[in-house]
Structure 1
């Protein structure tokens, strides 16, 4: 029953995670962060350089020096083993000079932590065995218990022996219980180590929600997040739910890179899982990154551990590349045969296409001529419709005016007011009426050909292009060729419409054409100006 509940819980959490962000997208995110690795490391180096520079202050006392060495140790403890080891000894030296038991014990704990991180279990126990914690502050006691717990848990994982693993796990759990009594129940250490203890004693049903709640709390540092996600991933690896473990390890690796942590195992475990899933390309990329971290960190055991996995993944990558080469050779041979067949068919098809293209060309030319004719007919029809409506409107206006004049004259003839008739006739301004006629024509024409002026000017050099006055729509030059564009090409008709002599029309047309870029094809270009 216990295992059934656990499996159902894991399955439920797995389903939730499957609906989350795709591992493929997360892998790409990790690769992007990996490219920023040197920049993030440089930021850490700048912090370290600043701390080292502060050691050169002349008025520095032992307490200040101790604090600076502690900060340098914290910067190096997960970044570079030999430097962290050096500053741990500096902390011991300064704390000895201060003769402060709490600081002396704290310095030994820092040394023990770095020894454990490098896999030196004996040396870690030797360092811890010298501590007398009875009269030390709770904060130092808590760290002492937690370091002992981690040492025994790591030793149990390293041995993998049924007899000794149980002994080490029991001792570690004892130290965890002692530490938890001194931890704030809202602290990271309380939540993480209580969850870790549940994992080690096999109570995964309570451990998983606790660690997932810790991850989702959004109050963790990058390093704390990476530790929690890596620990949680171990559970899913043991229960063959690698897709969830991969996502957790990707996020842990991203957090490690952002915190410039070099001694973490998340990238190493991720590479192993990806290799099992036959993703050797990404596995090789990440194991190389893990190897770079191990070399930079400088702990011998970590380098040996990563090197062993690197050889396995590199071998798998080489084997996969060989298989790909064989498949490539097979497909190349197959493609060669297919290419020959395709070439034979291509020659046959080419000859057929050549005949079809010749026929298509004739059809396309005929279609083009037909489309051109249809467009011209449509344009002519549109122009005709617009101008029929326009002239019906003009004629209607003039008939209304004539009717008013007739009515006025008839009325005055009846009353024999001949002088008023003369005045009425004298008030008829033919020049104004003609100007109004031209203005209405200009408006109607530009409604059909709004780009006429722009296209007309493109036919001339810049110095001969038409520049209209602010109140003008068209001038005489433009009006002549506007009428020509509408199909009024007879000089007599142009002269009558515009109230010019025939010679004047001829002179206008000749003078304007001679100024154009192409006098011979000028009127053809005018006729090619398109309506809207």
Structure 2
């Protein structure tokens, strides 16, 4: 098979190490491919802004949506809305339908599965009037929706039902698209894979692969599915090779919405390659945040055992250092005791050697000082690690609490929407969804939760921050009051978020506003030049001592 030859060409006596080395180098250079993607996007934006024809402008923006669809969901949504207005002005039903399919695809990609399902239901009445291509696209959206629902429902009673629905729509698509087309091979693969016909599935994915660009997101998808076959066959070498090649294709096509890198991180973790697993998972999380997908973020959260394993490794190292210190200290103490006994026994007979003994005692005193210094360093290291453990445990607890709270709120909101829809209160639902009060309330609650969590972890934060400020410029909080905007910015800096753009995104401010607040706070500081560095020391063991 062609794909097998592509992946096995990199295999050698050292397993996948050579291929992993190539991937590590490609990950270092991934910004190059992102720049190429951004240059292409900027070029299309220039074309769009200078195009006078509405029809041609629609086509250019469609290409922009395609570029953004696997790169950054927020921008893709903006251009989908632009094209919706253009399609409306053209009074083109086909373009309006095409735009709606793009919207549904993006909702599913971004994890907005309820919105995707609702949009598909709105198109149900139009289905009989669609042409074959449009019907195929309609069923593709349903297949993708149930695929994402299945991934979210893994190991639950709903997983098998979603799998049946996914397979049902794959069969429908195969009956609507031309045979020997890439869509036919892809959805035929999904059928054969689901039914356990692995050899036929391999043939389908190989035929699909030969019809696409080997450096595209489609190639990454094909290689990802091939890895699933190898996983069932327990062929760990080829499973990992397929995932590595899939990640390489994602990097070259600057895809930020991916699955393969996260799965590869889990495999490397299982093999004890914690360093790579950590780096891969971190990059995967960065990509998911950049794309803004809830689905991938929730899946990455399942990889938290990697963090726990690394935490245990750190504990083991700490214990090793502690035992080494005890052994060294014991050795020196026994040495001192032996010398002291020897000196006591020989004191009467060795009065002539008194000066030599004094010299030896001086050396022993220096050794004692060094041992004491080492013990103090070990105690400081132990205290720092205990503080780190405490903060980490509290962070994880608050993170899980916040996630649970928002899951419940999403469930309540879903029930509310369902009730409104069932009772025909569409207008009231629209007004409710258009109101900013709910978003403002959620933002206020979120900031309150953040303030409460932060002040629990750093209860003396305001007091220590005031110590860095001039006496007449210090902050005073009333009883029960949380952080204001300026203190919250300082809190984010304490957590290591120093970039004004990131702070602005977190707080919903303009970066210029954040910069103004930071300048205002810094103007109150006793030492303006080192103010940010001093904030980072607040609450630490060294700072408190």
Smaller-chain TM-score range? 0.5 to 0.7
1:190-213 per-position Cα deviation (integer Å, ceiling 9, x unaligned) = 112110121123322422343245
Larger Rg: 1
Distance 1:300 1:170 in 2: 24
**Which runs of structure 2 are paired with 1:289-438 in the superposition (5 Å)?**
289-309=283-303, 311-324=304-317
CA RMSD of aligned residues (A): 3.3
Q: Which residue of 2 aligns with 1:96?
A: 88
Secondary structure at 1:56 match in 2: helix
Q: Which residue of 1 aligns with 2:248?
A: 254
Q: Given the alignment, which residue of 23, 26, 36 partners 1:33?
A: 26
Secondary structure at 1:190 match in 2: helix
Secondary structure at 2:129 match in 1: coil
Of stretches 184-193 and 40-49 in structure 1, the one that deviates more from structure 2 is: 184-193
- Displacement of 1:217 after TM fit? 6.8
**Which runs of structure 2 are paired with 1:151-300 in the superposition (5 Å)?**
151-160=145-154, 164-212=158-206, 214-215=208-209, 220-300=214-294
Q: Which residue of 1 aligns with 2:53?
A: 61
- Displacement of 1:239 after TM fit? 4.7
Q: Which residue of 2 aligns with 1:118?
A: 110
Asked whether the equivalents of residues 281 and 317 of structure 1 are also in contact (C-alpha less than 8 Å), the reply is: no
Secondary structure at 1:141 match in 2: helix
Q: Given the alignment, which residue of 65, 79, 84 partners 1:87?
A: 79
Distance 2:146 2:260 in 1: 20
Residues 95, 289 of structure 1: CA spacing in aligned structure 2 closer, same or farther, 3 A cutoff?
A: same
- Displacement of 1:176 after TM fit? 1.7
Residues 202, 162 of structure 1: CA spacing in aligned structure 2 closer, same or farther, 3 A cutoff?
A: farther
Secondary structure at 2:276 match in 1: helix
Residues 92, 77 of structure 1: CA spacing in aligned structure 2 closer, same or farther, 3 A cutoff?
A: same
Q: Which residue of 1 aligns with 2:40?
A: 47
- Displacement of 1:145 after TM fit? 1.5
Asked whether the equivalents of residues 81 and 118 of structure 1 are also in contact (C-alpha less than 8 Å), the reply is: yes
Asked whether the equivalents of residues 240 and 267 of structure 2 are also in contact (C-alpha less than 8 Å), the reply is: yes
Asked whether the equivalents of residues 33 and 254 of structure 1 are also in contact (C-alpha less than 8 Å), the reply is: yes
Residues 217, 129 of structure 1: CA spacing in aligned structure 2 closer, same or farther, 3 A cutoff?
A: closer
Distance 2:298 2:276 in 1: 21
Secondary structure at 2:17 match in 1: helix
Structure 1: tracts of 5 or more residues without a match: 1-13, 338-532
Secondary structure at 1:29 match in 2: helix
Secondary structure at 2:128 match in 1: coil
Q: Which residue of 2 aligns with 1:144?
A: 138
Asked whether the equivalents of residues 291 and 306 of structure 1 are also in contact (C-alpha less than 8 Å), the reply is: yes
Distance 1:20 1:229 in 2: 22
